[in-house]
Every structure is written in structure tokens, then in C-alpha cells.
Amino acid sequence: TSLERLATDLRPADSAVALTGAGISAPSGVPTFRGDDGVWDRFDQGQFTYGRFQRDSEGFWADRVELQRELFGGNYEPNAAHEALAALGRRGPLEAICTQNTDGLHGETLESTDAESDPAILELHGNARRVRCVDCGNRRDADPIFERAEDGELPPRCECGGAFKPDVVLFGEQLPAAVIQRAKSRARESDVFLAIGSSLVVEPAASLPRLAADAGATVVIVNLESTPCDGVADIVFREDVTQVLPRLRELVESV
């Protein structure tokens, strides 16, 4: 099968890199943005821009409180797909996980006791479990700050007087350049590039599969729906991430 072929590819490969999106966290209960019942069907994307944050931080925060509850209101745990990727890092060739997710779930699968062999995690869109002061750069846990916003402090402010912003990349905001550069070079240097649970429509993540393919990598896509990058992929699994990744992990570990 194509999974067995991939497992053989992965064994001798010295470098595999994964790119993940909301679909990998969907089996944990986290809603996706697009696809079936996506959050952007219920919320207006245009209200969550960097421009609005700067112009109308009060309105932005009032709406963001609702979105945050929708996205991260549950008590989510990593699922078998997150665990499989972490294991492919520890006992296999996976060197890095580039993620568009801001839920922090990949981080929870790392074993701090064996940090050496853990895969690197590159959070391309930041982490919604934190907020950051736009003036002094101070980072804090998001939960207590969101509680203050729910109690009417709009926007919630740092001790220095600056407004807090969710520590995520908003539409219209620059992505962290250093992280993107690292993700691009990881993609170019990879022998196998796995795009997992992403609609692959948001840049710059959407260009990583092609970048990897152009540099000679075997590109694999795992997603329930078709994506604009399917044409550059060597193998496409239109299946649930929790079906494909644990099986791949088993095959790789069985040698």
C-alpha cells in the first residue's frame, strides 16, 4: 500500500518535516476554520484583523472573547495523531513540526525528560494560550487576561499601560520572520514533507509543500478534503489523521 511505501521512505530518510493545520486537532474537539462546520462560517474573519485591533481594540477584544471561547473553550488533549508525530520525532526521522495551530497541543506531546530527541516545534501563527503586551512585549497566560476582558476590561492592559494582544498572528499582521525562515529552510532540506490536516490555502504555509517538492522531497498530504497542493504531492491520503498517522508510526517502529 502507499502507507507501506511511505514507511519505507521514512526509514532511511534522514530528514522528515511535518506541517500541521486545524485538521490535526479536530479529533481532539478543536473546531476547524474551514471545511465542515468551520468557524469562519459562524464568525466574520474580517473582524479579527490587525488593522481592527489597532483602530478599535475595544471592539476587537469583545469579539475575540467570543471567538476564544468557541475555539479553546473546551478542555482539549492531544490525540493519537499528535502523539504519533511526537513518536516519529523521538524514534524516527521527523525533525520538525511546523504548525499553523495556536492551540499548543503539539507542545504537550513533548517529553521534557528526553528533549534532545524531541522534534522541534515551529509555531507559525503563535500561541493563543498566551497574550503579549504590544508596548513592553511582556507575555502572560491567556486565561486570566481573557477573564478580565469578560468582566469588561476592554482591552485588558499590562501593568505598563499597554494593551494586551492575543499572542497569535492576526490577518494583516506580519508573521514572525525568523520562524518562517526556519520553516522554509526545514522544508527545503527535507527528504519527506508531510502536510497534515490543513486546507493549505493560507500563506505562507500554503507554499511550503511546493518549496519542498521543488527541492526534491517526497510530499505527502493527509487531509479529509482535497487541497490546492494535491497536484504537487507524491501521495495523498484523503483520510482522518487519527487513522493514517498511528498506522504510519507503527509501520516505522516495526523495523
Is omega for the bond preceding 144 within 30 degrees of 0, making it cis?
no
From first CA to last CA, the distance across the chain in angstroms is 17
Q: How many residues lie near ligand OAD (CB under 6 A)?
A: 24
Among 67, 202, 215, 235, binds ligand OAD (CB under 6 A): 202
Contact region for ligand OAD (CB under 6 A) — 50-58, 60-68, 146-154, 191-199? 191-199
CA distances from residue 2 to 71, 88, 228, 230, 251 in whole angstroms, order as listed: 34, 18, 21, 15, 12
Q: Does 21 bind ligand OAD (CB under 6 A)?
A: yes
Q: Residue number with the shortest CB distance to ligand OAD? A: 23
Query: Which of 46, 144 has the CB closer to ligand OAD?
Result: 46
Q: Does 32 bind ligand OAD (CB under 6 A)?
A: yes
b (16+ CB within 10 A) / e for 26-43: bbbebbbbbbeeebeeeb
Q: Does 53 bind ligand OAD (CB under 6 A)?
A: no
Query: Which of 153, 239 has the CB closer to ligand OAD?
Result: 239
Contact region for ligand OAD (CB under 6 A) — 58-66, 113-121, 154-162, 219-227? 219-227
Contact code string over 67-106 relative to ligand OAD, x by CB under 6 A: ---------------------------------x-x----
- In three-state form (DSSP H/G/I as H, E/B as E, the rest C), the secondary structure along 131-180 is EEECCCCCEEEHHHHHHHHHCCCCCCECCCCCEEEEEECCECCCCCHHHH
Q: Alpha-carbon distance 205 to 212, whole Å?
A: 11
Q: Alpha-carbon distance 38 to 46, whole Å?
A: 15
Is 101 within 8 Å of 21 (Cβ atoms)?
Answer: yes
Q: Alpha-carbon distance 176 to 237, whole Å?
A: 30
Among 122, 199, 211, 220, binds ligand OAD (CB under 6 A): 199
Q: Which residues are catalytic?
A: 125
For residue 94, the one-letter residue type is: L
Dihedral sign for Cα 40, 49, 208, 137, please.
negative
Q: Does 240 bind ligand OAD (CB under 6 A)?
A: yes
Contact region for ligand OAD (CB under 6 A) — 26-34, 105-113, 148-156, 181-189? 26-34
Query: Which of 35, 93 has the CB closer to ligand OAD?
Result: 35
- In sequence order, which residues have a C-beta less than 8 Å from that of residue 177 and are 6 or more positions away? none
Near ligand OAD in 113-142, by CB under 6 A: 125
Q: Does 197 bind ligand OAD (CB under 6 A)?
A: yes
Q: Which residues would be at the binding site for ligand OAD (CB under 6 A)? A: 21-23, 26-27, 32-35, 38, 100, 102, 125, 168-169, 197-199, 202, 223-225, 240-241
